[in-house]
Structure 1
Amino acid sequence: MSNPVSQAITWLNDPLNWTNPGGVLDRLGEHLVISAGAVGLACLIAWPLGLWLGHRRRGGTAIVVLANITLAIPVLATLTILPLTFLGFGRPAVIVALAIFAVPPLLATAYTGMTEVDPQAREAAIGMGLAPHQVIGRVELPLAVPYLAAGFRTASVQVVATATLAVFVNGGGLGQIIGAGFGLGMVTGGGQILAGGLLVALLALTVEGVLAGAQRLVTPRPMRRRLRVRTGAQPAT
């Protein structure tokens, strides 16, 4: 009897597993839609709040507390609770649950990006007669872009990896492949389970690599070391 590794290789090399309805290509598309929707929703919530509080130099403690509380809530718990609300089972509940999970790094890095703006640059802009919204749009926001990119990268990778749990609420994505493998049993479906896990890992690494390159492009060289120190692996803490 072949081992799970050889079964996974065989499963991945079968074109029908990629092109059939519910195959890898379909599940990959669902996974990307779910992840993009969750990160997009989280950005709509976290960035305006973080940028405004950072501009006002207020709410730093509240952001840390909120981020830590949000991170303390297991994603699986929110995935279990939200389908029981008006959202129901399926993609909307998954997107909202993952958006909650993505808010902390986006919120923290947006706030940090604004507070790290050189006060002299801000004072010079005010001295030139710029209104508060002009100071934000023309001075502070461009200087905070590298921090926003760092938070976006962290949140996106976390969401892509965690979106696998959507299988528990019929949300679609690559987790469906893993769930179907468990349904077949470890002896028969072990290769499919391993193949699904490898696909999720490869997708997360691809997103990490692409966004790391994008972050590097928007970050001036003198800021790169400081940005790594400020954001770290857990930018919400």
Structure 2
Amino acid sequence: MRMSFTELENATSGFSEDYLVGNGMLGKVYKAILPNGWILAIKKLNDWENLEDEFVLEITTLGGLRHRNLLPLIGFCAEKQERLLVYKYMTNGSLDEWLHSNEVKANILDFPRRAKIALGIAKGLAWLHHGYELHVTHGSISTRCILLDQNLEPKISNFWEAKFWSKNDSALSWSLFPVAEYSGLGSYKQDIYCFGVVLLELVTGKEPHELTAQEIYLITRLVYLMQIKICLGKELMI
């Protein structure tokens, strides 16, 4: 849905710092409240001239992705020198904030809640890899791009490095050998590796740079076991 710049500007009181909820490499994210009561998240892109291809990809292709564990793109704005993307607002922020920035929130995330979050992320990834008309690889899964709604249901976001593959593309075939290191992984396997890192963060509460060599090895074994299950037809139910 195309939205006007004036409409989005008014919904954020002129993109006031009071409405700012995030600031990343690609741009700032604002909480917006529309006259009808809808609460949205607006990503206002920086240096959009160098991101025009990614912007078009987001609204033409990724805008069609619909799964309960993916952050839905609701609308966009392309007027003059402005490029904005509009998403459903996630009231509980990112998983990274819950795990690493707030001890109170980390304590709220008991094991059943963490398991539910892990399962939701897995379902979203499984749908991207196997459930859509094209295979989609995310490319940069991390706790920072996992957002949580009011029920702590995870939503995968930030598809700027996503790639699309034909279902007949041999590049998607799995190797049955365990992966020893992150570098050199294909996009498909990279998603699973990064998901393994997220799992370890959920289980240990540690940030990636705090993980031990033994824990990193656990990721490679996890990748190996998941590959075997997929090759045997034991894919996650989505």
Q: TM-score, normalised by structure 1?
A: 0.28
Q: Select the structure with the greater relative contact order (CA < 8 A; seq sep ≥ 6).
A: 1
Q: TM-score, normalised by structure 2?
A: 0.28
Please state which structure has a larger fraction of its residues in strand.
2
